[in-house]
Amino acid sequence: MSVTASPDVNRVMCPSRLILEHVTSRWGVLVLAALLERSYRFSELRREVGGVSEKMLAQTLRTLERDGFVHRDARPVIPPRVDYTLTELGREAAEQVWGLARWTERRLDAVFLAREEYDKARTP
């Protein structure tokens, strides 16, 4: 951060906290990551993400769509076909969280090591 003045953490975070929670939510992260690769239909995405209920996937997609991250393309055919795609804004968001995810992945070992030491230190 700008190490200089007092960035008043809360002032910066409060307005964007809800959005942050949307993109970093359990399913939000996975949906954005999946869509970063390509567009998906609803059921396809559900299989791709794995473990998500219909309700949560629908809710997540609605939230992301409302925030302008995801474009919903519903075609008037029988049976219904709905494709979900990242918008440009969504692609930026997805790249950010994907970056964070990859950093976490890279440093996994360090975290596990730290945990081991932490636990060992207080279980004599």
Partner DNA sequence: CAGCATCCCTGATGATACTG
Partner DNA sequence: CAGTATCATCAGGGATGCTG
Q: Site size for DNA, by CB under 7 A?
A: 23
List all residues 6 or more positions away from 36 whose beta carbon is below 8 Å from its beta carbon.
86, 91, 94, 95, 98
Among residues 28 and 94, whose Cβ is nearest to DNA? Answer: 28
18 sits near DNA (criterion: CB under 7 A): no
73 sits near a copy of itself (criterion: CB under 8 A): no
Alpha-carbon span 91 to 96, nearest angstrom = 9
Alpha-carbon span 116 to 95, nearest angstrom = 31
Question: What is the footprint of DNA within residues 20-59 (CB under 7 A)?
Answer: 25-27, 41-44, 51-56, 58-59
Among residues 53 and 104, whose Cβ is nearest to DNA? Answer: 53
Binding site for a copy of itself (CB under 8 A): 1, 3-4, 6-7, 9-10, 12-13, 15-17, 19-21, 23-24, 26, 29-30, 33-34, 36-37, 47-51, 65-68, 89, 92-93, 95-105, 107-108, 110-111, 113-115, 118-119
Binding site for DNA (CB under 7 A): 25-27, 41-44, 51-56, 58-59, 61-62, 72, 74, 79-82
